Amino acid sequence: MRCYQPSVRIHLLLLIGFCSGFFSSLVHALSDQPTQLPEGPSAKIVLVDDSVVFGDVTDIAEGTLYVSTFWMGDIAIPLESVATLDSEQSIELLTTDDRTLTLSRLQVLDGEVVLEGQDNISVQQVAVSSPEAWEAGKGYHLTGRASTAFDYNRGNTDTDEINADLEMVLESRRDRFTLRGDLEDTSTNIEQQTEGGETTRTNTTTADNWQLTGKYDYFLTDPKNYLGVNLGLTSDQFADVSRRYFVGPYFGRKLLTRDDLKLDAEVGLSYVDTDFIEAEDNDYFGANFNITGEMSFLDGSLTLYLRQIGIMNLSNTSESILRTTMGLRFPLLLGLEASAELSGDYDGGAAEGKKKYDETLKFRVGYRW
């Protein structure tokens, strides 16, 4: 017989939820409008520490049970912490072996989902509830975002600056396509007066670069593991880079897959070829490592994200490339969102006389779909 210890996290979750619901109900009680009590909860959940939760099951994903309650609001409970569950609601479940189960009611007993007329399954075999078509292996799911930062200034100094980026992900249960692009162009026009009183303008371009990265991932038997190949193109006139591309295979793993916390890590090989404008061209083989992650908090109101691409030159590590982007974004209205983003690029193979490190702080407004 297994002996369960009370979970401090569960107790804190229940306490916070109870206090939130209590004060919300108190405000309604003191207001002029009468409180409309909802219908009785459809589910009773007993946790391994003997705590009892009444509510409605709203979702199951990545080993977590999401429940809507009257007193505690919306809460998340790890499935492994559920001793018994009895819900009167019908539900559709997708299992980790791609089976779709339609249940007239959801019952969990001793870590197993009770099935009528067939063997029960472990709660660990439940992937998601109410799966979308692409989650059930039918078609693809498209997500993306596009944003821009634009500065138009007219006066003694005229400045035109545009920075735009695009990210699109097309994903199915079998594979995933990713496309990312970034464009930056800045020019300054300065008005000056000569000794003879004539007015002249000097136009100077201070930034002219773009980057484009494409990736393809193929998920293995364990969908957290995948094989992929990436292709990157870049140009930076002020770094003396006419064109640089890199291509190579890699192995990746989804380290974290929660809705509010995701992290992918990849390692592989890359071939890098650089055509300089003035300096001598070069090429080399390198070790490639990528990190992509994001974390949402405050009920999804804020999202902290990280993207990092690194290529280590195997013949001369001092000429390696590291590109890191970190930002904080938040939603506005009608699908619009804003973000503050800090990016740092280290180019150890920059042409002689050019800076190897570039740092940029950007404030963006864009659209997400």
Model pLDDT for residues 126-141, shown as the tens digit of each residue:
888 888 888 877 889 9
Let me know if residue 80 belongs to a domain: yes
186 and 316, same domain (yes or no):
yes
Say if CB 287 and CB 272 are below 8 A apart: no
Q: In the prediction, which pLDDT does 337 show?
A: 92
Least confident of 101-115, 189-203, 279-293, 352-366: 189-203
- H/E segment holding residue 89: none
Q: In the prediction, which pLDDT does 2 show?
A: 38
112 and 150, same domain (yes or no):
no
Other residues' Cβ atoms within 10 Å of the Cβ of residue 223: 14
**Residue 288, Cα to own-chain centre: how many angstroms?**
21
Q: Which of 235, 313, 226, 233 is nearest to 269 (CA)?
A: 313
261 and 311, same domain (yes or no):
yes
pLDDT of 17 above 60: no
The pLDDT tens digits for 246-302 are 999 999 999 988 778 899 999 999 999 999 988 999 999 999 999 999 998 887 789
Three-class SS of residue 332? Answer: coil
Say if CB 55 and CB 41 are below 8 A apart: yes
Q: In the prediction, which pLDDT does 259 show?
A: 75
Q: Which residues of 297-321 are buried (b: 16+ CB within 10 A; e: fewer)?
A: eeeeeebebebbbbbbbeeeeebbb
Rounded alpha-carbon distances, angstroms, from residue 70 to 83, 91, 139, 360: 21, 21, 37, 47
273 and 209, same domain (yes or no):
yes
Q: In the prediction, which pLDDT does 364 show?
A: 85
Say if CB 56 and CB 86 are below 8 A apart: no
122 and 156, same domain (yes or no):
no
198 and 314, same domain (yes or no):
yes
- Name the domain count of the chain: 2
304 and 180, same domain (yes or no):
yes
- H/E segment holding residue 295: strand 282-297
Q: In the prediction, which pLDDT does 324 show?
A: 94
109 and 206, same domain (yes or no):
no
Q: In the prediction, which pLDDT does 134 show?
A: 84
pLDDT of 76 above 80: yes
Q: Which of 16-20, 49-53, 57-61, 213-217 has the highest mean pLDDT?
A: 213-217
Write down the pTM of the prediction: 0.70
The pLDDT tens digits for 133-178 are 888 778 899 999 998 876 555 555 555 677 888 999 999 989 999 9
51 and 104, same domain (yes or no):
yes
Residue 46 to residue 110: CA distance in whole angstroms: 11
Q: In the prediction, which pLDDT does 9 show?
A: 47
More confident site: 330 or 355:
330
227 and 312, same domain (yes or no):
yes
Report residue 1's pLDDT band, with 50, 70 and 90 as the boundaries.
very low
337 and 280, same domain (yes or no):
yes
Burial of 30 (C-beta count, 10 Å sphere; 0-12/13-18/19+)? exposed
User: What domain range includes position 325?
Assistant: 141-368
Taken in order 264, 265, 267, 273, the sign of the CA dihedral is positive
